Amino acid sequence: MQIKHNLDSIKATLSEGVALCAVSKYHPEEELIEAYNARQRIFGESHVQELVRKEAALPKDVEWHFIGHLQTNKVKYIAPFVSLIHSADSVKLIREINRQGERYGRRIPILLQLHLAQEDSKYGFTIEECWRWIESGEYKELNGIDIRGIMTMATYCDDEMQWRSEFRKAKAFYDELKGNSAFVSSYSSFDIVSMGMSHDYRVAMEEGSTMVRIGTAIFGERNYG
């Protein structure tokens, strides 16, 4: 019952229109089912094998989101069913998602992952790289993807001002893209700003997030063993 309780408390704090992606990576199927029974339908995973296993075990009306770094050679395993890939972090990966989308006759929903954090370890496009790619016009040729918005992760630190400034930059970039009618009219809708995790989602919502990705605050600490 703890999971239901945690979900209810988080939902009570979400701003209107903000969707909740329950990050279930490293947690066993039974815990996902507990969340499902508490009416949660969006789950986020960051490993392909684990996602494929859980997709087979849970009811078919779950929306599976992929949120981790995705290797190009593994896109094919999730391409038939994934509802949203938050972590489109390179042109090479976008091309492969597109290829698999065309192969399966679908436009796979993706978010452009931005790298604004100070760590070297985070994947993603810088804002300049992203503009350069959009200006190349290549996106017009890619009919196997549906770009639905952006995703970012703030620098992992205790400094709320730091998170806030990164979220604000991401949202400003999203707003600019949203104003580019040639770009947004290529997609079914362009309306997702995926930002905020357990420790920083309140700040992310204040800065315009429309989708938060919360794991620990729902399922507890992950057991990486």
Ligand X SMILES: *Cc1c(COP(=O)(O)O)cnc(C)c1O
Six token digits for residue 14: 């979400």
Residue at token pair 């079914």:
188
Smallest distance from ligand X to CB 195, Å:
9
In single-letter form, the type of residue at position 190 comes to: F
Instruction: Pick the closer one to ligand X by CB: 99 or 164.
Output: 164
Which of residues 123 and 139 has its CB atom nearest to ligand X in the complex? 123
**35 φ, ψ to 5°?**
-70, -40
Which residues of the shown chain bind ligand X in the complex (CB under 6 A)? Answer: 23, 25, 46, 67-68, 153, 197-198, 213-217
Q: Are 18 and 149 a contacting pair, CB within 8 Å? A: no
Nearer to ligand X, 69 or 99 (CB): 69
Amino acid at the residue 164:
R
**Single-letter amino acid code for the residue at 82:** V
Tokens of 37: 């029974």
The least distance separating ligand X from the CB of residue 138, rounded to whole angstroms, comes to 25
Number of DSSP helices (H) and strands (E) in the chain, helices first: 10, 8
Q: Which of 156, 149, 103, 143 is nearest to 130 (CA)?
A: 149
C-beta of 48: minimal distance to ligand X in Å?
Answer: 14
Between 121 and 185, CB nearer to ligand X: 121
Query: How many whole angstroms from its chain centre is CA 130?
Result: 17
Report the C-alpha gap between 59 and 144 in whole angstroms.
26
Q: By C-alpha distance, which of 136, 138, 130, 149 is closest to 85?
A: 149
Nearest-approach distance from CB 182 to ligand X, in angstroms: 29
Containing 2, the helix (H) or strand (E) segment is helix 2-13
Nearer to ligand X by Cβ, of 184 and 208: the residue is 208
Paired tokens of 51: 């996602």
Which residue lies nearer to ligand X by CB, 47 or 106? 47
